[in-house]
Amino acid sequence: MSLPASPFAYVPGSSPLHRLSALPKLVWLAAGLVFCLVALHPLPLLVVLGAAWGLAAWAGVGGPLWRALRVLGPLAASIVVLQVASPSACAGGCVPLASIGPVPITAEALGRGAAFTLRLLAMASLALVMLVTTRPSDLFGALRALHVPYQVALVLATTMDLVPLLQRELGLVLDAQRARGLRATGLGAVVPAAVPVFVAAFERVGRLAISMEARGYGSGIPRTSYRTAAVGGRDRALTVLGAAAGAVGTVAGATMWGTGSVPPLAVPGWAAVAIVVGAAGAFCAVMAVGLTAVARA
């Protein structure tokens, strides 16, 4: 039985991004994420988003990234709706563009919504490109090189494994219960289904612990690593460069785009309405698809 892979799963490949060792990738990712957090202006965020997509296309992982963002995009876009609906959105002198019923759409709210959405998408895209081009074991090697405790790194590994696993398990439980003629729709079905899912998960984790300890995990002997021996001079240089870029980016981002307020987004009234309605519609569509997938009856 073939099941769809998790959007976070490693996609094998041989692109330079795949071959680059995990440590510089992690440092560059951190630099990018920090930059996204300090920059308020949508323009630099758009550039980061574009760069992430460029990297994904270069590494041949555009497909998985697109699949993940198809869901994440509309969810992020709902921020636009929230910003518009928020009563405290305006600090005086707002430019109303249009209104939907009693709710005015202002250029300021639209600008903030667009910037938030872009920030989320840019950060998620960067992180996903990094995740899907890095073997989990390399990633943990890199976390270890950054002196993250082994247990924490391993918890990260098993958690990432566990999420799709729990999803799959939940699907099987709901199926099995529907086949017994029991009401399996909506949240009413998901809650009782959680019991066997967690029992199965606990049993699995228990067996995983047995299997891992029996293979020497926790022996107290300093661990060696099969893959991370490849941290060469080039990787070290890239790591240092990444750290420097992060520092420069943070300062630049904060001084050039990090002060003041988010610029308003002045578009024609009809376009403003279209953006808000479109965002709300996409959000509802994704939620509806998600909920029916969870409890198909």
Partner 1 sequence: MTLPGDVVIELEAVGFRHVAADRPALDRVSISIRAGEYVGLLGATGAGVSTLLLSLDGVVPQLVRGEASGAVSVLGRDPRVVPVPAWAGDIGLVLDDPSVASTQATVADEVAFGLENLGAPTATMGLRIATALESVGLAGFEERSPATLSGGELQRLAIACALVTGPRILVLDEPTANLDPTGRRAVYRVLRRLNRAQGVTVLVSDQDAESIASDATRVVALGAGRVVADGPPASVLGDPTALARHGIRPTGAASVAAAVGVGTPVPVTVEAAARVLARRSPAHRPPVDGVAGAAERLAELASASALPAEAAADGGPALVLVRDVAFRYPGATGQAVAGVTLSVMAGEVVGVAGANGSGKTTLGRLVNGLLRPSSGRISVDGMDTASHPVRMLAAHVGSVFQEPAHQLLATTVAEELALGPRALGVSEARIGERVRALAEALELDDVLGRHPLRLGRAERKLVALGAVLAMAPRVLVLDEPTTGADVRLAGIVEAQVLAAAARGCAVLVPSHDMAFLGRVATRIVVMGGGRVVADAPTRAVFADARLLAVAGLEPPAAARVALAVAPSGPSPWPPVSLEEAARVLRRAGPDDGPGGPPGSAAAESAW
Using CB under 8 A, list all residues that contact partner 1. 1-4, 10, 12, 135-137, 157-158, 161, 169, 172-173, 175-184, 192-193, 195-196, 199-200, 204, 206-227, 229, 297
Closer CB to partner 1, 47 or 190, in the complex:
190
Closer CB to partner 1, 162 or 254, in the complex:
162
**Closest distance between partner 1 and the C-beta of residue 228, in Å?**
8
- The residue behind tokens 């891992």 is 212
Closer CB to partner 1, 94 or 201, in the complex:
201
**Closest distance between partner 1 and the C-beta of residue 102, in Å?**
42
SS3 readout for 168-192: HHHHHHHHHHHCCCCCCCHHHHHHH
Q: Which amino acid is present at 255?
A: T
**Closest distance between partner 1 and the C-beta of residue 242, in Å?**
23
- Structure tokens that stand for 62 in this block: 């555009």
Closer CB to partner 1, 173 or 267, in the complex:
173
**Closest distance between partner 1 and the C-beta of residue 38, in Å?**
33
Distance CA 57, CA 64 (A): 11
β-strand 103-106 against 96-100: which pairing, if any?
A: antiparallel
**Closest distance between partner 1 and the C-beta of residue 56, in Å?**
19
Q: Which amino acid is present at 122?
A: A
Closer CB to partner 1, 199 or 284, in the complex:
199
- Where do runs of H (alpha helix) occur along 146-268? 150-178, 186-214, 233-252
- Burial label for 196, CB within 10 Å (0-12, 13-18, 19+), is middle
Tell me phi and psi for residue 98, to 5 degrees.
Answer: -165, 180
Closer CB to partner 1, 209 or 277, in the complex:
209
- Structure tokens that stand for 202 in this block: 């606990």
Q: Which amino acid is present at 291?
A: L
**Closest distance between partner 1 and the C-beta of residue 8, in Å?**
12
